[in-house]
Every structure is written in structure tokens, then in C-alpha cells.
Structure 1
Amino acid sequence: MTSKFDKVRAEQLEYNAKREKGYREKALKMYPWVCGRCAREFTHKNLSELTVHHVNHDHDHNPSDGSNWELLCVYCHDEEHTKFENLVRYGSTSETEVKPATFNPFADLKAKMNSK
């Protein structure tokens, strides 16, 4: 007897596999088997380590011209999603201007050393 959870999970896994197969196959035909970040090259032997990344992070946006896809190795893909999660969690990743420090902890050091 399967639980409701098992049934829903199986349906979701089937849906994900079906959806992924469509755009993955198209992207692999469209683009060279090279990671878009680290330039690692792939063959049939290690092709399972090459993923299709959705540039706008919307897995349901799959235009036929491939404009929302890029091929990334599993490591670069993970890094890309970590950067996106950090952007969502912490805000903008653009650097803010860092002003120079004005406090000098050694300002009176010479005078203190001479006083001993």
C-alpha cells in the first residue's frame, strides 16, 4: 500500500524527468558540450555531469531558441544557484564603497615608548 506522499512524490519525479528530458535534449543538440563557466569539455562518457542552467532561474521558461539556457558542469551549476540564493537571502551582491579607516591605534605609540 503506497501512501499519498509516495504517490505525489512519484508523480512529481515523473513530471520533472519528462520536463527535463525535453529542454535538456534540445540544449545538448544546440550548444557545444562545454561548461559555460569553467570551460570543461564533456564527452558521452561524462555527459551526465553537464547540466542545463536556466539563466532567469525559471525552469518553466524554455524558449525554443535556448535563450534561457546555458550548459554548466555540476560544480559551476551549484555555485550559480548558491550565488542566486545568497542574492535572495542577503540582497544585492554589488560592492558598496568602503571608506578608509580614520582611527589609528598607533598614533601615540612613539610618545608612549619614549616615556618609559
Structure 2
Amino acid sequence: MSIGKPPLDNAKLDRIVAEARRASEQRELGYRERALKMYPWICGRCAREFTRANLPELTVHHRNHDHDFNPADGSNWELLCVYCHDNEHSRHIDHVRGAGYDDAKPAPATGNPFADLKSLLNRKGDH
């Protein structure tokens, strides 16, 4: 008889995952509904306007990237279209990973594209 881990209770795991998803959806609906009432339905980056027909394409972006920080005054939210929202998160990921190019110094130029220009011009005048 081997001593091992107890068998997984898949039903319990499924309940836990389902409950976590419901809680997340409820939190999202809460701040999304509040943000849509608080702000005009316009993307904060590209200024695209939204109506009820295309409202699902307007997302709530958390400015500090903390989805659990939802102050009642909406100061951590901005409405962005799905394209600008994806772009903002890509930029944030690049920044966190250190892909910012602000600190990188380009190598100095070593070639001179006009180094032989005078001789080329003189040769052309000889013909």
C-alpha cells in the first residue's frame, strides 16, 4: 500500500472555479455599470463615440492596473475602446519588462555617406 496524495475532488474544484468566476463577473459588472453612468461613452484615447449598439466594445481601464482598486469616485477608471485598451496593456507590459527605449543610447554613427562625394563629382565633371 502506497502513501500518496488524497484523490482530487473535481466537483469541489469546479465549484470553487465557478464561484471565483461569478465573483469576478459581479465585480466587473459593478464598476463597469458605474463607469458607464459616470463617464461619456467615448474612448479616452481615440475619441471614438459609442452607442448602445456597439457599447460592448467600450471597456473600463484601470489606470493603476489594479482591478480590485475601484474607488466610488471613479478616479482609477477610464473608458477605452477594445483596441486602445489592448494597446495600453501592451505598453504597460513592455514598460514592466523594461522594454522602454528611453534609457537606451543609440550607437554613434561611424560611417560617412558623403566621404567620397568630392571625387565622384570631380570625375563626373571630367566627362
Q: Sequence identity, in percent?
A: 61
Q: What does residue 107 of structure 1 align with?
A: 115
Give how far 1:105 is off. Answer: 6.2
Q: 1:9 aligns with which of 17, 23, 36?
A: 17
CA 1:104–1:19 in 2, change beyond 3 Å: closer, same or farther?
Answer: same
How many residue pairs were aligned? 112
Q: How does 1:1-116 map to 2 (within 5 A)?
A: 2-94=10-102, 96=104, 98=106, 100-104=108-112, 107=115, 110=119
CA RMSD across the alignment: 2.6
User: Structure 2 counterpart of 1:14, which letter?
Assistant: R
Whole-angstrom distance in 1 between the partners of 2:93 and 2:17 = 24
Give how far 1:52 is off. Answer: 0.3
Compute the TM-score of the two structures, normalised by the length of structure 1: 0.80
Q: Mind listing any 5+ residue stretches in structure 2 that lack a counterpart?
A: 1-8
Task: Indicate if the aligned counterparts of 1:87 and 1:93 stay in contact, CA closer than 8 A.
Answer: no
Higher Cα Rg: structure 1 or 2?
2
User: Structure 2 counterpart of 1:50, which letter?
Assistant: L
Whole-angstrom distance in 2 between the partners of 1:103 and 1:8 = 64
Whole-angstrom distance in 2 between the partners of 1:62 and 1:93 = 32
Q: Mind listing any 5+ residue stretches in structure 1 that lack a counterpart?
A: none
